Amino acid sequence: MYTLLCIFFVLTGTLTGCSKPEPTQAEFVLGTVCTITLYDAGKPKVYRAIFDRLVEIEKRMSVGMEGTDVYRVNEAAGIEAVVVHPTVFEVIERAVDFAKLSGGAFDPTVGPLVSLWGIGKDNPRLPEQAEIDAALPLINWRDIDLDREKSTVFLKRPGMALDLGAIAKGYAADEAAAIIKKAKVPRAIIDLGGNILVYGEKPDGTPWRVGIQNPLETRGAYIGIVEAREKTVVTSGVYERYFESDGVRYHHILSPALGYPVQNGLLSVTIIASRSIDADALSTSVFALGYKEGRALIDSLEDVAGIFVFDDLSIRLTKGASFRLTDDKYQIVSD
Ligand code: ADP
Ligand code: MG
């Protein structure tokens, strides 16, 4: 019923048959399989430093783990402001920026709805309309009080809950990249459950090729390739986490206005950008906004490109999306 899939995989030399596979390390962190591949100077201690950092981020930002900063903020909703680690403050602040930018389509206070649907849990379920009606008034990013000086976060109303699930992995990928840079590893691939960041370029000087998951097929089937250097490629889609009830598929990107999974004809949105925190927040924001408004948002930003995949198997690209279609069941259209 419940499924968690990696969205992307990076096509390295192995597929084109020109280089030996590099050592890769994978661990289950941040609710997903995180795979790191360090090339050339990839020492065990660099791997360790990266995974330690990912675990640290999880221990501060996970909503489901007791004692994390986010957990404590949620427990104190409507009661008091909670001091959080500066990195947690920074991510929440950025999440609020994207809530503003997306007119609330992206909302980090979506927590009560996520719990209600059981997204990411063992027993997701279709809630009663009355339960959704009761949760909706609790969703509003404007009711997050942030005090930068004191590094505190206060959710104004009891029952409110933060959920950083749509942005924390992006932040974590940027942090992993910073460690890689400091360790002077020349090239690397960071894959946090499909949240991809490619660092440096391939040994032969050509760009990395990132496969974009076919949203209707099982993991590893891709519809095309993005070529990228020093970029992050992040997808939000209907296939990432979902459950089925009476033959209807319910996925994990929820409309803060309606309380149901967003239904707008999109199967997935991929964002290509320089910072993974932005790409992660944007992939969810743009998916939730839908094509017209989502595209306008991408077009308004520097250095951001997008790939929209629709349920009629059409694909639309924004300026700067270097996407090569490889699956002929899909079609790139340009309206
Ligand atoms: P993934 O976590 O699979 O990479 P996303 O980045 O799109 O996918 O994040 C989806 C997660 O974000 C959901 O599982 C939920 O925790 C949370 N979420 C769902 N809807 C919204 C929304 N409208 N705004 C912000 N966060 C959301
Ligand atoms: Mg996201």
Q: Which of 29, 70, 212, 253 to mutate to test the pocket of ligand 1 (most atoms within 8 A of CB)?
A: 253
The upper half-sphere exposure of residue 15, i.e. CA atoms within 13 Å in the direction of its Cβ, equals 10
- Looking from the CA of residue 241, the nearest atom of ligand 1 is 3
Question: What pLDDT does residue 199 have?
Answer: 96
Q: For residue range 248-270, what is the model confidence (pLDDT) as tens digits?
A: 889 999 999 999 999 999 999 99
Domain borders along the chain are 8-58+184-332, 61-155
Taking the centre of ligand 2 as the mean of its atom positions, its distance from the CA of residue 17, in whole angstroms, is: 33
> Are the beta carbons of 198 and 189 closer than 8 angstroms?
yes
Taking the centre of ligand 1 as the mean of its atom positions, its distance from the CA of residue 166, in whole angstroms, is: 4
Taking the centre of ligand 1 as the mean of its atom positions, its distance from the CA of residue 251, in whole angstroms, is: 10
Question: What pLDDT does residue 11 have?
Answer: 52
120 vs 307, which has greater pLDDT? 307
- Would the pLDDT of 1 be above 70? no
Angle at 67 between CA 65 and CA 69, to 5 degrees: 95
Residue nearest to atom 24 of ligand 1 (CA): 106
Q: What string of H, E and C letters represents the secondary structure of the chain?
A: CCEECCCCEEECHHHHCCCCCCCEEEEEECCEEEEEEECCCCCHHHHHHHHHHHHHHHHHHCCCCCCCHHHHHHHCCCCCCEECCHHHHHHHHHHHHHHHHCCCCCCCCCHHHHHHHCCCCCCCCCCCHHHHHHHHHHCCHHHEEEECCCCEEEECCCCCCCCCCCCHHHHHHHHHHHHHHHCCCCCEEEEECCEEEEECCCCCCCCEEEEEECCCCCCCCEEEEEEECCEEEEEEECCCEEEEECCEEEECCECCCCCCECCCCEEEEEEEECCHHHHHHHHHHHHHHCHHHHHHHHHCCCCCEEEEEECCCEEEECCCCCEEECCCCCEECCC
Determine the Cα–Cα distance for residues 101 and 169; give it in Å rounded to an integer.
20
Taking the centre of ligand 1 as the mean of its atom positions, its distance from the CA of residue 253, in whole angstroms, is: 5
Determine the Cα–Cα distance for residues 119 and 137; give it in Å rounded to an integer.
19
- Would the pLDDT of 120 be above 90? no
Question: What pLDDT does residue 241 have?
Answer: 84
Return the percentage of the chain with pLDDT > 90, whole number. 83
Question: What pLDDT does residue 21 have?
Answer: 54
Question: What pLDDT does residue 239 have?
Answer: 82
Taking the centre of ligand 1 as the mean of its atom positions, its distance from the CA of residue 156, in whole angstroms, is: 22
- 8-58+184-332: CATH topology: T-fold (3.10.520)
Taking the centre of ligand 2 as the mean of its atom positions, its distance from the CA of residue 280, in whole angstroms, is: 4
**Tokens encoding 55:** 């675990």
Q: What is the mean pLDDT of residues 274-281?
A: 98
| Least distant ligand from the CA of 5 | 1
Q: Which of 268, 317, 293 is nearest to 8 (CA)?
A: 268
Question: What pLDDT does residue 121 have?
Answer: 81
Residue nearest to atom 3 of ligand 1 (CA): 240
CATH of 61-155 given 3.40.50.2300, 3.30.9.10, 3.40.50.1820, 1.10.3980.10: 1.10.3980.10
Angle between helices 44-61 and 86-101 (to 10 degrees): 70
- Looking from the CA of residue 283, the nearest atom of ligand 1 is 7
pLDDT band (50, 70, 90) for residue 10: low
Q: Which of 284, 287, 289, 309 to mutate to test the pocket of ligand 1 (most atoms within 8 A of CB)?
A: 284
> Are the beta carbons of 227 and 207 closer than 8 angstroms?
yes
Taking the centre of ligand 2 as the mean of its atom positions, its distance from the CA of residue 267, in whole angstroms, is: 14
Q: How many CB atoms lie within 10 A of CB 246?
A: 5
Question: What pLDDT does residue 23 have?
Answer: 82
- Would the pLDDT of 77 be above 80? yes
| Least distant ligand from the CA of 99 | 1
Residue 272 class from Cβ within 10 Å (0-12 exposed, 13-18 middle, 19+ buried)?
buried
- List ligand 1's pocket residues with C-beta within 6 A: 106-108, 110, 114, 119-120, 163, 165-166, 169, 195, 236, 240-241, 252-254, 256, 280, 283-284, 288
Q: Which amino acid is at 260?
A: Y
Question: What pLDDT does residue 119 have?
Answer: 79
Task: Give me the chain's average pLDDT, please.
Answer: 92
- Would the pLDDT of 48 be above 80? yes
- Would the pLDDT of 47 be above 90? yes
Which CA distances in Å does 71 have to 28, 119, 135?
Answer: 20, 17, 18
Q: For residue range 87-104, what is the model confidence (pLDDT) as tens digits?
A: 999 999 999 999 999 999
Q: For residue range 205-247, what is the model confidence (pLDDT) as tens digits?
A: 999 999 999 999 877 799 999 999 999 999 999 887 888 888 8
Q: Which of 8, 30, 33, 110 to mutate to test the pocket of ligand 1 (most atoms within 8 A of CB)?
A: 110
The pTM assigned to this predicted structure is 0.93
Q: For residue range 154-207, what is the model confidence (pLDDT) as tens digits?
A: 999 999 999 999 999 999 999 999 999 999 999 999 999 989 999 998 889 999
Question: What pLDDT does residue 278 have?
Answer: 98
Determine the Cα–Cα distance for residues 283 and 273; give it in Å rounded to an integer.
10
pLDDT band (50, 70, 90) for residue 16: very low
- Looking from the CA of residue 284, the nearest atom of ligand 1 is 7
Taking the centre of ligand 2 as the mean of its atom positions, its distance from the CA of residue 77, in whole angstroms, is: 24
> Are the beta carbons of 297 and 246 closer than 8 angstroms?
no
Determine the Cα–Cα distance for residues 134 and 234; give it in Å rounded to an integer.
32
